[in-house]
Structures are given as structure tokens and as C-alpha cells.
Chains A and B, each alone.
Chain A
């Protein structure tokens, strides 16, 4: 069964450093999403992406964040200058069409020191 994959599974970085989180969505899906989950808290929406552009973003997704689809398979989330409060699990998800069931990847656990 097709699934969303994410790399790395864990990332430790120093405050102020840039990180890039990678995702490979399910191949026939057209809509891609990033969510985050701070330890012990609820899953929060960051951004959705369709047709090579951002379709929706939350207040969390400020100028420090960017997303890109650099090729036909990868979807990346970049955090330009990480802060301590960026420590969280970051989930990538994809759906075949807008508003349909979203399938989540296994997540990248980011720790900012």
C-alpha cells in the first residue's frame, strides 16, 4: 500500500541553524500538507500546497518557514533560523484531491538546542 515517507526521522540542531525536512507524498496525490505536534499537545496545521504554490497557511507559518517541491517527488519544509519553540514532531500529509482524506507520514522529530 502506498505511503507517505519522511526523512530524517530525527533531527537535532542548534538554535539559529537552518533545517530542511523532507517528505515524499503518495505518488498520485495532488495536495500536500505540513503539520506539527509539540510534545503532549494537539496536531496543528502549518501549510497546504497545490500546483506548486501555497494554497493555505496558518499563523504559525511565518517568514521563517518555507516549502518547496524541488522535483517530481519530494516536498520540503525549511525552517530558516530555528528557535527553541520549533522543537516538535513535524508531519507531512498528502491527499488525492482537496479536502479528501489526508494520509500522514511517520514524522520528523526536531529538537532545537
Chain B
């Protein structure tokens, strides 16, 4: 089976840094993707890791440790518009589809 875990909710303050964790146990692994989803809207792509280490894209960074089955998304200089759900998705080896985690709902407070 496939299992992906994320914290359900997080709260942070405008201007701060927040780290959203994702752990996974899947039958294979061929990459981990982070998406942002505002309520009632489509997931939008943020970041992608297939090798261990840190990928940085502006205010967003994502880290992967394949041996630990662990990833995190780091958001810096938080803005109110960053209030959204953040979805961790694993591409399982030999498969093309993504297995999504339950998402973490982030609230950014003034």
C-alpha cells in the first residue's frame, strides 16, 4: 500500500519561516512533488525532488531524504497569500500517477 503523512494544520505569522513535513511509505519512489492548493482551486506546482538534498526556488525550498522517506517544504518571508493547503505527492516507481498526501492547511496570520 501507499501511505503519505502530513500535519493537518499549521499556523504561522506574516514574515516568518515555516516548515511543512511529509513522510511517505510507498511501494516505490521516483520523485516527490509539492503543490499549493487554495480552497476550491486546482493544485499548482511548487517544487520537485528526485535526489536527496535541497532544491531552492525563490521563497520556497524543498528537501528530500530518500533513506528516511522524508521531505519538507520550507516557506520563507511568509505572506498572507501563502494561506493555502500544501500537498505532498509521490510518483511511485514505474507508475505515472501521483499518490497525494492529505495536505497541510497553512494559515498565515498578520
Contacts and interface: CB of A to CB of B under 8 A. Distances in A.
B91 interface: yes
Interface residues of B, number: 23
B19 interface: no
B96 A103 contact: no
Nearest to B103: A42
B43 A104 contact: yes
A101 B45 CA distance: 8
A31 interface: yes
- The binding surface of chain A is classed by DSSP as strand
Contacts of A106: 41-42
B74 interface: no
A99 B43 contact: no
B44 A104 contact: yes
Contacts of A33: 96-97
Interface of A: 31, 33, 35, 41-45, 48, 50, 55-56, 58, 89, 91, 95, 98-99, 101-107, 109
